[in-house]
Amino acid sequence: MSGLQVQAEERAGTQPGGTGGSGSRLSVRPAILSVRGLTYGFSRAEPLFAGLDFDVREGEFVSFVMPSGMGKTTLFRLLAGLLAPQAGTIAVGEERAAAAEASRLGHIGYMPQRDSLLPWRTVLDNAALGLELRGTPKREARHRALELLPVFGLEGTERKHPHELSGGMRQRVSFLRATLGGGKLLLLDEPFSALDAMTRAGMQEWLLQIWERHRKTILFITHDVDEALLLSDRVLAASASPVSAFSEIAVDLPRPRDCGAVLEERFIRMKRELLRLLGRETRGSGGDRR
Amino acid sequence: MMRKASAALPAGTFILLIAALWEAGTMLLGIPHYIIPKLSDVFVSMWDNRQTLAGHFAVTLGEALLGLGLSVALGTLAAVWIEGSRLARKTLYPLIVASQTIPIIALSPIMVLWFGYEVWSKVAVVILFTFFPIAVNTADGFRSADPEIGDLMRAMGARKRDLFLKWKLPSALPGFFTGLKMAATISVGGATLGEWLGGESGLGMYTKRASNMLRAEAVFSGVLLLSLMGILLFLAARLAERAVLSGRFPGEQGR
Ligand SMILES: Nc1ncnc2c1ncn2[C@@H]1O[C@H](COP(=O)(O)OP(=O)(O)OP(=O)(O)O)[C@@H](O)[C@H]1O
Ligand SMILES: [Mg+2]
């Protein structure tokens, strides 16, 4: 743990502007995802998104917090290329013009809300699936997955099948699969919501460590305000449907962070602000209501 | 091995009990031997005719296996077609399901009309009986494939071929084996019926002829052997299922 921290601090120190808050450091990076005028709704239902704009910069950790049923999963399916916007564009990476949906398929790591592991495949073969689908020879794909198993806390489980794993382990396999399969952009749809509080706290710290080492761009969906603030550089929130703009909170807590950060005053201030944006007041938030 | 043996113990005991009741009942109640022969007499008759019976057994087994094999091929093809084509799903699938309201037995004489008294009419009757469970269970298996896994694979860049081989096909396997086990059991009945409609050999023909001659022991030995064949085919199908699925699906841990 402490070794990792030192490593991460050293790395941060060598970067230009690394001493500033994460927000200022990241603002100079190019956008890796740029969404313009996104409009989408299922037929015979209220539209979910109407003219939505937002950007995500390379290496950023961005959380989306919205009430249930407002379209978080749908947004990810749009980004991954599984659904086509009814209007607007989604551009990933260098491409100037937004390319067709099909061109995004296979270029974004996607971890769905349910772990969606293939029950008939072993842990190793599940993890290697993304590489395999992109044409990596099976042997090499397995080899690369095997190398990463210890990092994901899955050492020794390579021959097991998903039904033999705990919930947390299944989530990690699913996360490993997304990491190995996609490009620079990782979409994580409520990866920890099915876990109990203890396991979840452990997984959050673990995700922070992994991310601080690899610095992929992560888009993260959660219902949990603490989780969003603890993990992210920015939190995008919305509370009214259809979503035409996100309210944004830049999280300027220093990294590396751990679960203790939730007790800091700055954190609590941001949390109050985020809950206000979501239209939820906290009972503990004090005298201004009573 | 120990576990297998102990698992078979209750069933084995039960069979022995029935056998004992049969033997004792026929003796004590004085049931005429042409209604229910003594079990020991049935075995004696079986032993006396062992060579004839073995030949008939092989003939019927061959018909059942041939029909079953063709049903597996045709049924799987039909299921793949139903899965792959919207049109087939809307036309063929309901037709196959609706065809089950036709009493298959009533169709069987048509098979004799078309395929004559040779082995092929029996095989055709077996197919008539076994095609449905395999086609429908496999098609349902394809349809039961988790759409979220399909989406995930598409998001990871899967092509149509990948989706079929790595998602649809494995998802359909449990359904296919359910169909196969059902079909394996019914196939013996199909072959027997085919032989009743006209034939020179096979256990079905043997029992029918024995019945005409009121030789109860021979009828019962034929029936016992046909039951045995059904059980063996079922067990073989289950063995194949275990071999393919064991450990891969929850509830199929094998052993
Ligand atoms: N395939 C679909 N067809 C029609 N409506 C759908 C479909 N998928 C989702 N919806 C509807 O779209 C809305 C948004 O769904 P979505 O799954 O994106 O919500 P969510 O924000 O991810 O919710 P949760 O937090 O509960 O996961 C819901 O009202 C849902 O009923
Ligand atoms: Mg969702």
- Nearest by CB to residue B146, choosing from A81, A116, A163, is A116
Task: Answer whether A120 touches B (CB < 8 Å).
Answer: yes
Q: Residue A101: pLDDT band by 50, 70, 90 thresholds?
A: low
Average pLDDT, chain A: 82
Residues paired with residue A188 on neighbouring β-strands, in sequence order: A111, A220
pLDDT at A8 over 70: no
List of chain B residues whose C-beta atoms are within 8 Å of the C-beta of residue A181: 156
Whether A108 contacts A183, CB under 8 Å: yes
Whether B137 contacts B175, CB under 8 Å: yes
- The whole-angstrom distance between residue A52's C-alpha and the CA centroid of its chain comes to 19
Whether residues B249 and A182 touch (CB distance < 8 A) is answered with no
Give A32-84 pLDDT, tens digit per residue: 899 999 999 999 888 999 999 999 998 899 999 999 999 999 999 999 989 99
Predicted pLDDT at B201: 92
Token pair belonging to A272: 């109050």
Residue carrying the six token digits 């909170």: A249
pLDDT at A289 over 60: no
What is the mean predicted confidence (pLDDT) over A171-197? 86
Predicted pLDDT at A16: 41
Predicted pLDDT at A7: 38
Selected residue of B152, B245, B248 to mutate for chain A interface (largest A Cβ count, 10 A)? B152
Predicted pLDDT at B78: 95
Touching A: B residues 127-186, CB under 8 Å: 146, 148-149, 151-158, 162, 166-167, 170, 173
- Nearest by CB to residue B149, choosing from A116, A133, A182, is A116
Token pair belonging to A80: 């991954």
Q: Probe ligand 1: pick from A44, A70, A225, max atoms within 8 Å of CB?
A: A70
| C-alpha span between B16 and A289 (Å, rounded) | 81
| C-alpha span between B68 and A47 (Å, rounded) | 53
What is the mean predicted confidence (pLDDT) over A255-268? 85
**Minimum distance, in Å, between the CA of residue A186 and any CA atom of chain B:** 11
List of chain B residues whose C-beta atoms are within 8 Å of the C-beta of residue A163: 249-250
Q: Residue A2: pLDDT band by 50, 70, 90 thresholds?
A: very low
Whether residues B173 and A119 touch (CB distance < 8 A) is answered with no
Nearest atom, ligand 1, residue A113 CA: 27
Give A141-183 pLDDT, tens digit per residue: 999 999 989 888 888 898 999 999 988 889 889 989 998 876 7
- Sorted by where each starts, the structural domains of chain A and their CATH numbers stand as 1-104+185-290 (3.40.50.300), 108-182 (no CATH)
Cα of A235 vs centre of ligand 1, distance in Å, is 21
| C-alpha span between A52 and B73 (Å, rounded) | 52
Instruction: Tell me the DSSP string of chain A.
Output: -HHHHHHHHHHHHHSTTTTS-HHHHHTTSPEEEEEEEEEE--TTS--SEEEEEEEEETT-EEEEE--TTSSHHHHHHHHHTSS--SEEEEEETT-SSPPPHHHHTTSEEEE-SS----TTS-HHHHHTHHHHHTT--HHHHHHHHHHHTTTTT-TT-TT--GGGS-HHHHHHHHHHHHHHHS-SEEEEESTTTTS-HHHHHHHHHHHHHHHHHH--EEEEE-S-HHHHHHH-SEEEE--SSSB---EEEE----SS--GGGGGSHHHHHHHHHHHHHTT---GGG-TTT-
3-state class (DSSP) for residue B24: helix
**Minimum distance, in Å, between the CA of residue A103 and any CA atom of chain B:** 9
Question: Each residue's pLDDT tens digit in chain B (255 positions)?
Answer: 455 667 788 888 999 999 999 999 888 888 888 888 999 999 999 999 999 999 999 999 999 999 999 999 999 999 999 998 989 889 988 988 888 888 888 888 888 899 988 899 999 999 999 999 999 999 999 999 999 999 999 998 889 999 999 999 999 999 999 999 999 999 999 999 999 988 889 999 999 999 999 899 999 999 999 999 999 999 999 999 999 988 676 654 443
Whether residues A120 and B170 touch (CB distance < 8 A) is answered with yes
Chain B residue whose CA is closest to A111: B152
Q: What percent of chain A has pLDDT over 70?
A: 83
List of chain A residues whose C-beta atoms are within 8 Å of the C-beta of residue B144: none
Q: Which amino acid is present at B241?
A: E
Helix axes B119-143, B86-98, angle to 10 degrees: 130
pLDDT at A21 over 80: no
**Ligand 1: residues whose CB is within 6 Å?**
A 42, 45, 48, 66, 68-74, 113
Q: Which amino acid is present at B88?
A: A
- Nearest by CB to residue B154, choosing from A82, A107, A163, is A82
Token pair belonging to A249: 């909170």
The phi, psi pair for A50, rounded to 5°, reads -135, 105
Q: Which amino acid is present at A240?
A: A
* Residue of A170, A174, A189, A179 lying closest to A214 (CA atoms): A179
pLDDT at A277 over 80: yes
| C-alpha span between B46 and B234 (Å, rounded) | 23
Q: Whose CA is nearest to atom 26 of ligand 1?
A: A68
Predicted pLDDT at B251: 55
Q: Residue A11: pLDDT band by 50, 70, 90 thresholds?
A: very low
In the DSSP assignment, the letter for residue B168 is I
Q: Which ligand is nearest the CA of A67, by number?
A: 1
| C-alpha span between B212 and B196 (Å, rounded) | 12
The phi, psi pair for A111, rounded to 5°, reads -110, 105
Residue carrying the six token digits 């297998």: B4
Token pair belonging to B186: 């019914």
State pTM to two decimals.
0.81
pLDDT at A246 over 80: yes
**Minimum distance, in Å, between the CA of residue B162 and any CA atom of chain A:** 7
Instruction: Tell me the DSSP string of A210-272.
Output: HHHHH--EEEEE-S-HHHHHHH-SEEEE--SSSB---EEEE----SS--GGGGGSHHHHHHHH
Touching A: B residues 190-229, CB under 8 Å: none
Bridge-based pairing of strands A87-92 and A31-40 is antiparallel
| C-alpha span between B240 and B179 (Å, rounded) | 13
Question: Exposed (0-12), middle (13-18) or buried (19+): which is B40, by Cβ within 10 Å?
Answer: middle
Cα of A79 vs centre of ligand 1, distance in Å, is 15
**Minimum distance, in Å, between the CA of residue A248 and any CA atom of chain B:** 28
Q: Which ligand is nearest the CA of A41, by number?
A: 1
Q: What angle do CA A51, A57, A60 make, to 5 degrees?
A: 115
CATH fold, domain B49-246, is MetI-like fold (1.10.3720)
Whether residues B155 and A110 touch (CB distance < 8 A) is answered with yes
3-state class (DSSP) for residue B97: helix
- Nearest by CB to residue B250, choosing from A133, A163, A181, is A163
Cα of A195 vs centre of ligand 1, distance in Å, is 21
- Nearest by CB to residue B162, choosing from A120, A133, A161, is A133
Radius of gyration of chain A (CA): 19
Predicted pLDDT at A15: 41
**Minimum distance, in Å, between the CA of residue A69 and any CA atom of chain B:** 17
